[in-house]
Structure 1
Amino acid sequence: MASISTAIDAPGAFQDKTQMEFGKDIDRVDSNEVRTTSTESLDPAAEKKLLLKLDLFFVPIIMLVYLTCFLDRTNIGNVKVAGMPEDIGASPQEFSTAVSIFYATYVAFEPPWTIMMKWMTPRILLTSLCVVWSIATVFSGFITSIGGLYAARLVLGACEAGLFPALNLYLTMVYKREEQAKRVSYLFVCTAIAGAFGGLLAYALLKMDGIAGYEGWRWVYIIEGIFSILIAPIIWFGLPNDPSNAYFLNEEEKHMMKIRAAQRAQYMGSDEFSWEEVRIALKDPKLYLSGLIQFCQDILLYGFSTFLPSIIVSMGYSKIEAQYLSIPVYIFGGLCFLSVAYISDRLCIRGPFVILTNIPGILGYILMLCPTSNGVKFFGTFLCAVSVYNGPGLNLTWLNVNVAPHYRRATAIGVQLSIGNTAGIVAGQIYRTDPYVLGNSFSVGALGLAQLLVVIKWFYIRRCNEQKRRIENGEIADNRKVKTGDWELDFKYHL
């Protein structure tokens, strides 16, 4: 049996300002939520074993569902080089509009889906969205005009809008603040796998050209959509509404989950919806700084992940070569993010890693813009891949761990991603014609602006931590308007 140590305190020992120290890995317990005469701390070895079990059951499902989601979103880049625009009579401008129009509904629906997740329950929300966007993907294989493509992309955007923020929020229900970057990295690794697998799958499916009288690009949509539908039952049975009572946990592990929940009471907060928490989130400077950074980083994420095959074709490679040459680029970017996220969690440092990982991206885009050989330009795509995944993922984690309680964090995640994902509209317009000088130039400029914004946010958060320290030590008066959640004195922001 796992070792659990217990310390008994006298009744009434918890007051509203009591601070309970459980070590560096544990958040403060808010006494407004917890009234108990005992505090329990977990044996590190037992907790590590529990984390491994949580990862083994939750992470594959979360990765699988996001993999299919991103695959269905970005396969438009694969079908572009396979002749889809010509077959449906779409001009380059109309096709760019089809890429961008996805984000019109995507951006609009992100905040409401995120806030509604607890009310609808994760199981109902995620399963329903998966079914609808899968059907939209299948029907994309039967469109005959640009209007049909517009309609399919709008439905796809509305449904996929709820997935990524909801999965992020679900992770915060399972893991502590210092455990999250690595788990968020799994989601962004899925974007890399989707890019790699999407290119490989498209390469295979395009060979079905002519079967049953359908072009190869239609089979890309049909097969990938059917695959996504098969994921829906896995979501329903695999992601419980209450992770602390998951079907795969024994009684001892469920008790450990309750202890972890008590340790994270300040971070999670009440289960009751509060408009006041929404209002506080919307007035938080951290949210808007994070949103602007995400916008800059998402310029890369959506431009690169959607148009990498086209970018490679513009270097002089064939359309078929572009499909499989994109695979190692995506895999390299994903592996880099896994490594950096692990270090970020160990050190509880976020902003500086965003700055460091953006540097290779700046160099990569410069190589693609300069009059260099095709081999050098292709090498530049590997450098870009480092920034493409690390930047958005680490920045999102930086917001996740610095906003509490639950509904304040749900609002912040939804709004931040809405701001960031408007970059998808821009990406569809700047990557129109090869050799994509406008798109690559815009991307390197976005990275430069992101660097400046990260520095500003880092200094702002450091100032907030210092202000809390001085108030706690009695050096200055406490004139804060908000004193709950992440604004409490003992909530230390991750830098």
Structure 2
Amino acid sequence: MASKDHSFEERQVDPAARHSLQGSGIDEKAAAMHTENAHEAAARGHVATDKYGHPIVVFDPKAEARLRMKIDLYIVPTVALLYLFCFIDRANIGNAKLAGFEKELGLTGYDYNIVLSVFYVSYILFELPGNVACKYFGPGWFIPAVSLGFGICSLGTAFVHNMSAACGVRFLLGIFEAPMLPGIAYYLSRWYRRSELAFRLSLYIVMAPLAGAFGGLLASAILNLDSFGSLHTWRMIFAIEGIITCGLSVVAFFTLTDRPATARWLTQEEKDLAIARVKSERVGTTEVLDKLDVPKILRGIISPLTLSTAFIFLLDNITVQGLAFFLPTIVRTIYPKNSVVSQQLHTVPPYVVGAFFTVMFPFLSWRFDRRNIFFIMSTPLMMVGYIMFLASTNAQVRYGATFLIAAGAFSYGALCNAQVSANVVSDTARSAAIGTNVMLGNVGGLISTWSFLPFDGPNYHIGNGLNLATSSTILVCSILLQLWMYADNKRREKKDVDAELDGLSMKQVQDLDWRHPAFRWKP
């Protein structure tokens, strides 16, 4: 069943408990301009903002900082490790390709591209339903469960002997991995403010480029083994990495906390503060974790900002996923005479640089409470990289281009999910918006499996030209989106909030979500 936060939504107000507001970091004195009833309503289960969207409760920044650090230490490492192996289990097929995967299974022509595509069919189909299921069952249980599922699928890939079996296990892998990226993003939105979310998302999404780096190192180390049981060469990669994933998933069942209200490592005052500060940014909201509601699901899906951001994420994912699947192949065309282990190791440095920018841009986003501007700043790095690929056949120039592309591309995962999360109100709409963003974004992953085709090698003019076109389109769309948000916010300022809300029930007001007249887009 959908989780409900009893510490706020259902607990009766006890006058003797008022003293806990000060200790929890809720600054009662600073909120004295509001009525006592309004203050207690925000703290104990009613609205957290007035009808104009202004927070009723003011918080102590030092108490917030202490709480935020505690949440960072307890929540982020677990989901980051799970996502690291989620991406490794998806992208290790690129490392396996170098180690004989194609040859042993008898793949020819476009067979490898087909195997990659099958993963994305299920991955896209189960993205949105998976994130709704994550809300329904609760992320504290659901995320470890699907992690165990894709760990088993990775292990199973070690035992395939033909293309049909490879396609079947990749299809199952897509089902289990589909809820991970949006599910963790939704999960973290239960804990962090709008401005804080992008940076925290980056702390687990950075595992995507690190998975490329660590995956290359791990694959190189595994390939130095003579065997793993009865398994050899590329089969060892899938088996060992799958077993590690399964082990981490079992641990996560016991360590992942579902929501602030159930966190044993928080005091009651810290729980109250954690819930109140998230709630204070949601105009017209009476509960942090609302029940599944169709109007709110639709608000999350059809929001113009969700759809436009998802389109940007789609275009970016053509580059990100293409880099994951084909960087080893690209490196082999640059350094054809090097050993397989050397080629694997050459895939590591571009991912390390990409990881740095994946964290840096969202960190700046947190400090400035802006996301769209970093879409605009990241894109030229990708554009220059693909121009270098198209303009030169020099090995050093082309290898240098991979660094620029990784630097520009990987931060979008955190920024796009934080952007759609910041621009809806309810928990249900947030779940749907993030699911939609990742679902459409991974259509780009499906396209990427056909962006570097065998006949286009070794210079891959079609693939590089496609990625130059997509990065250029991202730049144009990001600028247009920035201008649209500014213009629509100006239009909303002219609305009569009282007149538009007059006669509406509380449920009708909550179902408005981003259509609420006091709501403003957050660029």
TM normalised by structure 2 equals: 0.85
**249-258 vs 320-329, which moves further:** 249-258
Per the alignment, residue 494 of structure 2 pairs with: 470
Q: Indicate whether 1:296 and 2:315 are aligned.
A: yes
Residues 350 and 398, structure 1, Cα contact 8 Å, conserved in 2:
yes
Deviation at 1:322?
2.1
Deviation at 1:477?
13
Per the alignment, residue 75 of structure 1 pairs with: 92
Tell me the amino acid that sits aligned with residue 164 of structure 2. G
Residues 357 and 387, structure 1, Cα contact 8 Å, conserved in 2:
yes
Q: Indicate whether 1:343 and 2:368 are aligned.
A: no
Deviation at 1:11?
6.0
Aligned equivalent of 1:449, options 461, 473, 478: 473
Change (3 A) 1:230 1:477: closer
User: How far, CA to CA, are the matches of 2:69 and 2:39 in structure 1?
Assistant: 32
Q: Indicate whether 1:388 and 2:416 are aligned.
A: no
Name the SS for the 2:58 alignment partner: strand
Deviation at 1:155?
0.2
* Matching of residues 355-370 of structure 1 within 5 Å: 355-370=376-391
Residues 124 and 439, structure 2, Cα contact 8 Å, conserved in 1:
yes
Deviation at 1:366?
1.2
Structure 2 unaligned regions, length at least 5: 1-22, 503-507
Residues 357 and 408, structure 2, Cα contact 8 Å, conserved in 1:
no
Deviation at 1:289?
1.1
Q: Identical aligned pairs, as a percentage?
A: 26
Q: Indicate whether 1:484 and 2:505 are aligned.
A: no
User: How far, CA to CA, are the matches of 1:184 and 1:220 in structure 2?
Assistant: 28
User: How far, CA to CA, are the matches of 1:356 and 1:76 in structure 2?
Assistant: 32
User: How far, CA to CA, are the matches of 1:473 and 1:263 in structure 2?
Assistant: 19
Name the SS for the 1:467 alignment partner: helix
Residues 41 and 259, structure 1, Cα contact 8 Å, conserved in 2:
no
User: How far, CA to CA, are the matches of 2:370 and 2:126 in structure 1?
Assistant: 31
Per the alignment, residue 6 of structure 1 pairs with: 28
* Matching of residues 164-203 of structure 1 within 5 Å: 164-203=181-220
Tell me the amino acid that sits aligned with residue 488 of structure 1. H
**413-422 vs 157-166, which moves further:** 413-422
User: How far, CA to CA, are the matches of 1:410 and 1:473 in structure 2?
Assistant: 27
After superposition, the C-alpha distances for 1:167-210 in whole angstroms (9 at most, x for unaligned) are 00001100010101101111221001101000000001112245
Tell me the amino acid that sits aligned with residue 438 of structure 1. I
User: How far, CA to CA, are the matches of 2:303 and 2:282 in structure 1?
Assistant: 21
After superposition, the C-alpha distances for 1:454-494 in whole angstroms (9 at most, x for unaligned) are 1222222112211111225999999xx99832333433322
User: How far, CA to CA, are the matches of 1:462 and 1:69 in structure 2?
Assistant: 37
Change (3 A) 1:349 1:84: same
Change (3 A) 1:465 1:57: same
Per the alignment, residue 47 of structure 1 pairs with: 64
**392-401 vs 224-233, which moves further:** 392-401
Per the alignment, residue 392 of structure 2 pairs with: 371
Tell me the amino acid that sits aligned with residue 302 of structure 2. K
Structure 1 unaligned regions, length at least 5: 21-27
TM normalised by structure 1 equals: 0.90
Per the alignment, residue 144 of structure 2 pairs with: 127
Q: Indicate whether 1:159 and 2:176 are aligned.
A: yes
User: How far, CA to CA, are the matches of 1:320 and 1:283 in structure 2?
Assistant: 47
User: How far, CA to CA, are the matches of 2:449 and 2:226 in structure 1?
Assistant: 27
After superposition, the C-alpha distances for 1:224-278 in whole angstroms (9 at most, x for unaligned) are 0000001112321222222243121123322322332442443775511111112
User: How far, CA to CA, are the matches of 1:158 and 1:358 in structure 2?
Assistant: 31
Aligned equivalent of 2:305, options 282, 286, 310: 286
Residues 103 and 157, structure 1, Cα contact 8 Å, conserved in 2:
yes
Name the SS for the 1:429 alignment partner: coil
Q: Indicate whether 1:241 and 2:241 are aligned.
A: no
Change (3 A) 1:3 1:130: closer
User: How far, CA to CA, are the matches of 2:314 and 2:263 in structure 1?
Assistant: 35
Name the SS for the 2:449 alignment partner: helix
Per the alignment, residue 23 of structure 1 pairs with: none
Change (3 A) 1:31 1:4: closer
Per the alignment, residue 309 of structure 1 pairs with: 328
Q: Indicate whether 1:276 and 2:295 are aligned.
A: yes
- Superposition RMSD on alpha carbons, in Å? 2.8
Task: Count the aligned residue pairs.
Answer: 479
**273-282 vs 195-204, which moves further:** 273-282
Change (3 A) 1:299 1:471: same
Residues 39 and 56, structure 2, Cα contact 8 Å, conserved in 1:
no
Per the alignment, residue 123 of structure 2 pairs with: 106
Tell me the amino acid that sits aligned with residue 182 of structure 1. F
Residues 61 and 234, structure 1, Cα contact 8 Å, conserved in 2:
no
**318-327 vs 249-258, which moves further:** 249-258
User: How far, CA to CA, are the matches of 1:106 and 1:13 in structure 2?
Assistant: 45
Change (3 A) 1:281 1:476: closer
User: How far, CA to CA, are the matches of 2:399 and 2:390 in structure 1?
Assistant: 11
Deviation at 1:331?
1.1
User: How far, CA to CA, are the matches of 1:103 and 1:291 in structure 2?
Assistant: 16
Name the SS for the 2:521 alignment partner: coil
Deviation at 1:325?
1.5
Change (3 A) 1:165 1:220: same
